[in-house]
């Protein structure tokens, strides 16, 4: 069986987003993927090659001032070398983010990731969950408690450390990891089957 390769390219300013990256990784591993965790502010040539060889790339960043962090923007601009050759075309993409506010304009960060993926010709995988915590029977412990559809979104108080990332947000990020790994498996098996037909 073809094992999908999922890379998680992320920046974490204070450790909160790193918790989410680990959760995405855990979910993808649980779903049978090979996973690479790549800190974009420390990325090496070998890690760029890992991204090139991946079936799916998950983008992650805290939301600062209504968009992804400066370090992530540097990475995004550096990826233009791949854009020229469309090296990431038809890979899968997904994203996650964290901010101190319940909204915090996190959607703008996820939309930035979506546009980055679209420029590379990638195919976006959304969260695939109904919103949680939106009726009288719901609670803050629901998956997708912030009601975001484009990707996994988390909220952590600005005066608390990464150990306080909400368990529901961690579980939502794990769900995203499983979802992207499952989608990547479908794509890799489909490509293998098409290659067999062509042969």
Q: How confident is the model at residue 93 (pLDDT cuts 50, 70, 90)?
A: very high
pLDDT higher than threshold 80 for residue 37: yes
Q: Which residues contact 88 (CB under 8 A, 6 or more apart)?
A: 51, 52, 57, 79, 82, 120, 121, 122
Give the tens place of pLDDT for each residue, 10-22: 999 999 999 999 9
Shortest CA distance to 167 belongs to which of 134, 132, 197? 132
Q: What is the 3-state composition of the chain as percent helix, strand, coil, each rounded to the nearest 5? A: 45, 20, 35
pLDDT of residue 2: 80
Task: Specify whether the CB–CB gap between 155 and 100 falls below 8 A.
Answer: yes
Supply the mean pLDDT for the chain. Answer: 96
Give the tens place of pLDDT for each residue, 121-149: 999 999 999 999 999 999 999 999 999 99
Query: What whole-number distance in Å separates Cα of residue 61 and Cα of residue 95?
Result: 8
Query: What whole-number distance in Å separates Cα of residue 167 and Cα of residue 6?
Result: 23
Give the tens place of pLDDT for each residue, 61-70: 999 999 999 9
């Amino acid at each position: 069986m073809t094992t999908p390769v999922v890379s998680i390219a992320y920046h974490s300013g204070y450790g909160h987003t790193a918790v989410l990256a680990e959760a995405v990784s855990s979910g993808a591993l649980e779903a049978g993927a090979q996973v690479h965790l790549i800190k974009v502010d420390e990325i090496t040539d070998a890690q760029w090659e890992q991204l090139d060889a991946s079936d799916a790339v998950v983008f992650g960043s805290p939301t600062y001032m209504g968009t992804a962090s400066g370090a992530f923007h540097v990475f995004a601009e550096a990826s233009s070398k791949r854009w020229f050759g469309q090296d990431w075309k038809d890979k899968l993409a997904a994203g996650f983010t964290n901010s101190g506010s319940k909204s915090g304009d996190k959607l703008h960060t996820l939309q930035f990731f979506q546009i980055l993926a679209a420029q590379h010709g990638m195919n976006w995988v959304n969260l695939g969950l109904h919103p949680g915590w939106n009726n009288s029977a719901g609670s803050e412990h629901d998956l997708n408690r912030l009601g975001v559809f484009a990707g996994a979104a988390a909220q952590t108080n600005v005066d608390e450390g990464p150990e306080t990332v909400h368990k529901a947000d961690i579980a939502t990020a794990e769900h995203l990891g499983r979802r992207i790994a499952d989608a990547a498996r479908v794509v890799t098996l489909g490509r293998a089957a098409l290659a067999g037909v062509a042969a």
